[in-house]
Structure 1
């Protein structure tokens, strides 16, 4: 928490305001600055950083409350949550006009017992894909959909990486854009699977039919 409180100003001191990951001061000056920043911290600074810390771990709290209520209050869904996540993504609204509106808050309220505001109030609170997996299969079985998601991500990586018509730097750039959503622990399973699938299809198409030809043209003109 102390590091969180000082790291913004301290990093700015190290890079002299360039916002780059460089150290532009001497080691002694860097250590002296740490002591100075820690010595100047106030109780109000710790109160502020506590709020930031709690904000970062709030979705772990959602998972914990879900584990408190399932299966003691609500039963495990035995795969229904992930089935709904995947089927929702694979059912285009053009062909399924009766498809419901996606509201992550409804599921969050049901399994945590909280009463968060939802779509009508312009907000959304998700459980996260770990909680989705736990609700379906419990403590041990929850690793099955997580393993499945990992294999899906590996498949996406391999397909893009094997597009040998693209420069390897371009391939890694596309992989980074497509897989960046996996970094969010709090992402709802439906949202995570949907974004991964949509971005993969879009950037696979761009890579195959646009980027490859653009790269060839650039090579010829350079």
Structure 2
């Protein structure tokens, strides 16, 4: 295994779980300091120190980097509710859904720690890679990995043609292959400091495609970049700090811009229809975005910031579920788990008459809320898997259900790490899987988590066993040819300088 994983002596600090844990202490202390100004000081203070506890649990040398994203992204959506209370100057218990929001905050905060326990149990003892296995990606040429990334985009486009069919989830998993390709490119470039134009090209492609898509998935590439930096354990310098600050600033600005334009953009993109099918051309969508960029001065950044924070804080919906009080109707019947399991083990290509599960219908049933506004542009809304576990099991029983979800996610990742492929390929596969269930944050439902877990295990198990070895041989052959060519050039140049027979 590479010395960065085993050596206690390092020339410069490296981005790893230990550094994240130290940073989380500073984060927690800052919010504890300002918590007296918050309407919910205890919620803010405890929430701010939860990342330290999470990282303390999972921060082993071989813990997959994707786990940091998985757990911290779940925590962030919960903690954002306490921060929103600070911005509003109003306790969570005084919000429109009353004291149930405060209950939901604590239940969901405890659930994030429960997920960390599950990851620790399953992934805490992963065997360290050999040095050759860990460093295999360092010998691949960035240009070749970039070619793989471009090819993966073709695969993604092909897979998207099957969306809505019987094999939707399988091809949706295949479409995530570009995440692994981007991750491998990022780790390679940041490790050897060569091939930066390819890295920036991927950033540009992903941002542009995300901004002209329907769901604004431009943020994904920042997740891939950050996770790759953690997996590669890059040296952390003053320059790195500057780059990280710049990337964070760019992500926030893009998120605020998207928040301000997404409703109008989706109306244009879908022609006002209640579907996710594009009714306008790419040039029309891009033209609209360019026009809004040119008129960026007209954006109300304050309103966009508030709207983004409210969208991020996914606690009120769980509070709404608690408020409805379904104890006498559904608690104890395990309907949510039953629907999720039956949906997964009745594949549509074998059961074509299987009724579709609608997140929005489940939302209406569990909250009794009007979601007409949330359905604009074909988007849907879900109560999320934590609220679904509350409905089935109450509290603290829901922690058992959440622990089971965490075990399932961790077991799939452990399965990927059982393959004898380069360490960064395993890391990239784990990231592709985790992002598939985390891109929507806490909003993801249990059927989607269970479905993604099984389809990813099958699709990427086959890929790691049969397809990737072919790609690895191609990458290594290309690297050897390039190395031989460079060696030949050096020999010829030395002959010229030495006055040889040529």
TM-score with structure 1 setting the length: 0.74
Distance 1:217 1:52 in 2: 44
2:341 matches 1:86: yes
Gaps of 5+ in 1: 5-17, 25-43
Displacement after TM superposition at 1:48 (Å)? 2.9
In 2, distance between residues paired with 1:93 and 1:190?
Answer: 14
Shift of 1:127: 0.7
Aligned residue for 1:23? 242
Query: Once the 2 structures are TM-superposed, how far is the Cα of residue 121 of structure 1 from its aligned partner?
Result: 7.2
Residue 19 of structure 2 corresponds to none
How far the C-alpha of 1:112 sits from its partner, in A, is 0.9
Corresponding residue pairs, total: 187
For residue 459 of structure 2, give the secondary structure of its aligned residue in structure 1.
helix
Q: Find out whether 1:154 has 2:410 as its counterpart.
A: yes
Q: C-alpha distance in 1, partners of 2:355/2:375?
A: 13
The Cα of 1:160 is off from its aligned counterpart by 0.8
Alignment partners' CA distance in 2, 1:65 and 1:115: 12
Length-normalised TM-score, structure 2 = 0.34
Give the distance between the partners of 2:413 and 2:394, measured in 1 at CA.
29
Q: CA separation of 1:73/1:62 partners in 2, compared to 1, >3 Å: closer, same or farther? A: farther
CA displacement at 1:120 relative to structure 2? 10
Distance 1:47 1:119 in 2: 21
Cα 1:56/1:191, change in 2 over 3 Å: same
State the SS of the aligned residue for 2:395. helix
Q: How do 1:111-190 and structure 2 match up within 5 A?
A: 111-117=366-372, 122-164=378-420, 166-183=421-438, 184-190=441-447
Instruction: Please say if residues 437 and 448 of structure 2, whose CA atoms lie closer than 8 Å, have aligned partners that are also in contact.
Output: no
Match of 1:194 in 2: 451
- What is aligned with 1:96? 351
- For residues 65-120 of structure 1, the C-alpha deviation after alignment (integer angstroms, 9 at most, x for no partner) is 00111236744153121111121022111221220122111110111110214889
Once the two structures are superposed, the pairs formed by residues 49-64 of structure 1 within 5 Å of their partners are 49-57=305-313, 59-64=314-319
Higher relative contact order (CA 8 A, sep 6+): 2
Select between 69-78 and 192-201 the one with higher mean Cα deviation: 69-78
Question: Which structure: larger Rg?
Answer: 2
Question: Deviation per CA, 1:144-202, whole angstroms, max 9, x where unpaired?
Answer: 121111111121111111111x1111111111111223432111111122123222321
CA 1:133–1:93 in 2, change beyond 3 Å: closer, same or farther? same
User: What RMSD, in angstroms, separates the aligned Cα atoms of the two structures?
Assistant: 2.8
Whether the aligned pair in 2 keeps the contact of 1:181 and 1:196 (CA below 8 Å) is no
The Cα shift of 1:216 comes to: 3.4
Residue aligning to 1:208: 465
